[in-house]
Amino acid sequence: MGSPCRGTVVLVIGSMLAVMALAVMVPSASAAAASSSSSSSSRCLARGGRFLPYARDDKPAFAADLTYCTNYQSETCCGRANSDQARLDMRNLALNGAPENCPETWAMHFACSGCDPAVSAKPAPTVMCRRACDAVYDACGSAYVGIDPQADVLAPCSLERRDLLCSRLSEFVSDGAELCREAGFAVAEAGNCFEGQPEGVKRSKSAKSSSSSKSSSSSSKKSPSKKSKGDQKRRQRQWFEAYLADLKRRYRHLRKRYGVVADLILVAPFLSLTLTLGKTFSRRLARARRIAHVREAAAVAAEQRRRL
C-alpha cells in the first residue's frame, strides 16, 4: 500500500507544479505580446510627399528642439526640420496675401499632422477629417498656392521654389475635400481621422486613448490614387485657367483705378522687351554683314594674288 500512496502523492505534486508553471508563463506571454503590439503600433512610419523624413525611426519620444507643433513635443517622431517646415509654410502664406488666421490653420491641420504619434504610427497617406479640410479651405481661400514639383501636391506659393504660377486657393479647388486630396491627404467624413489642435494646446490623454481606440473603416477612407496623364493634364489646365482668371482680375482692378495708365503699365514690359530684341537683332545683323564684307574682300585679294 505504501508504493501506490507515494505514486499518488508524486502525481498530485507534479500536477500542482505544472499548473503553477502555466500560471507563470501565461501572464508573461500575454505581457510580451502586449508589449510587442504596443511597440509595433508606435513606430515612426515615413509620410512621404512634402513631409520631411522623421528625426527618429524607431518610436515617438520627447523632442526638445521643436520650433512649432509643440502640442506633440512630449511624444512625437518629428524633429526641428519638421517643425521648421511648418513655420516656412506659415511664412510663405503670410507673404502671399493670406488672411490673418490662415497660416496657423494651415499649420495646425496640414503641416503639423505628421507630428501626431497616432498619425505617424499608420502608413501614408494621412487620413484627414472632412471638417479639418473645410476649416483650411475657409481660412485660406484667398491665399496664393502653387504646385510643389517634387511632391506634385498643392502647397503655399514658395519663394524658395521661385514659383512663377501661383493662384488663389479658391480658384484652384472647389471645396475642402478637394483641397485635402490635392495636398496629398486622404479624406474621411468621421471616425479615426486627424483634426488638429491649436498651437499651445497640449494633447490630452483622453484624446490619445480615443484616437488609438477608434477603428477606421476602409470604406470611409479615400486614398489618393496615382495620378494618370489625363488627371495631370486636367490639373494643369485647371491651374492655367485659374492663373488667367487671377491675371484678368488684377488687370480689371488696375484699369478701374488708373485708367489708361494701367494699359501702359501692362504694355511697358512688352515694349521694352521688343526694343531690346530689336537692338540685339540689329547688332547681330550688322556684325554678320561686316564679317561677310571682310570675307569677300579677303577672297578678292586672294584671287588677285593668284593671278599675279
* Dihedral sign computed on CA atoms, order 155, 160, 161, 163: positive
12, pLDDT greater than 80: no
- Interval 43-74: pLDDT, tens: 888 877 778 889 888 888 898 889 899 889 88
Q: What is the pLDDT of residues 162-198, one digit of tens each?
A: 777 788 899 889 999 999 999 999 999 888 899 887 7
Give CA torsion, residues 30, 32, 35, 37, to 10 deg.
-70
CA triplet 299, 300, 301: central angle to 5 degrees? 90
Q: What pLDDT does residue 42 have?
A: 67
The whole-number pLDDT of residue 175 equals 93
The radius of gyration of the chain from alpha carbons, rounded to an integer in Å, stands at: 34
Spell out the residues 6+ positions from residue 67 whose beta carbon is closer than 8 angstroms to its own: 80, 83, 84, 87
SS3 of residue 168 by DSSP: strand
How would residue 106 be classed by pLDDT, with cut points 50, 70 and 90?
Answer: very high
The SS3 assignment for 171 reads helix
Question: Which residue ranges make up each domain of the chain?
Answer: 70-224, 259-307
Instruction: Give the residue-averaged pLDDT of 150-155.
Output: 86
Q: Is the pLDDT of residue 87 over 80?
A: yes
Q: How far apart are CA 171 and CA 146, in angstroms?
A: 12
Of 24-28, 228-232, 274-278, 290-294, which range is least confident? Answer: 24-28
